Amino acid sequence: MRQYPANSNSAETMAARLTHSAGTVTLEPPHQTQFSTHSFTLEKGQWLEISREPSVLRVISGNAWVIVEKRDLVLSSGQEKLLPVGKYPAVVLILGDRPVSLEIQSKTPPRLAS
C-alpha cells in the first residue's frame, strides 16, 4: 500500500479506496474501476451535480463555488480537489460573472442543470 499526505488531491487517488488515519491517506489497489474525464463549461445560471462517489474536480479556467457535504469551497484556475464519497451529491456553480471550465474524473457523468 502507498501512503500520501492527507491533503493529496492526486488523480491517482481516483481508483482507490481511501482510509484516513493520523494525517495520512492510505490507498488500496483499485478493483476493476473505470473512471472517465468529463469536461464542462458552466455559464451564469447553470450548475453541475456530481454523484456521491469519489471524484476529482479540476478547474481549468475561472472560479468555482463547490458545495460538498454542506461545506463551501472556492476553487480557482489550476486547482483540483478530491471529492469524497458522501451522503449528498456535490454541487458546482460559477463564482463571479465569467464562465468556469471544469474537468471531472468520475465513474458516473455529472449532471448539468440550469
Write out the DSSP string of 24-88. EEEEEPP-S---EEEEEEEPTT-EEEE-SS-EEEEEEESEEEEEETTEEEEEETT-EEEEPP-SS
d(CA 10, CA 33): 16
Q: How many domains does the chain have?
A: 1
d(CA 70, CA 87): 10
Q: Is 84 within the bounds of a domain?
A: yes
In this prediction, residue 34 carries a pLDDT of 81
Q: Is 76 within the bounds of a domain?
A: yes
Q: Which domain holds residue 41?
A: 36-113
Q: What is the pLDDT of residues 61-107, one digit of tens each?
A: 999 999 999 999 999 999 999 998 989 999 999 999 999 999 999 99
Single-letter code of the amino acid located at 1: M
Q: Is 6 within the bounds of a domain?
A: no
In this prediction, residue 33 carries a pLDDT of 61
Q: Is 55 within the bounds of a domain?
A: yes
In this prediction, residue 38 carries a pLDDT of 95
> How far does CA 24 lie from the centroid of its chain?
19
Q: Is 28 within the bounds of a domain?
A: no
DSSP annotation of 14: G
Is the model's pLDDT at 26 over the cut of 90?
no
Kindly tell me the burial class for residue 63, based on how many C-beta atoms sit within 10 Å of its own C-beta (0-12, 13-18, 19 or more): middle
Q: Is 80 within the bounds of a domain?
A: yes
- The CATH number for 73's domain is 2.60.120.10
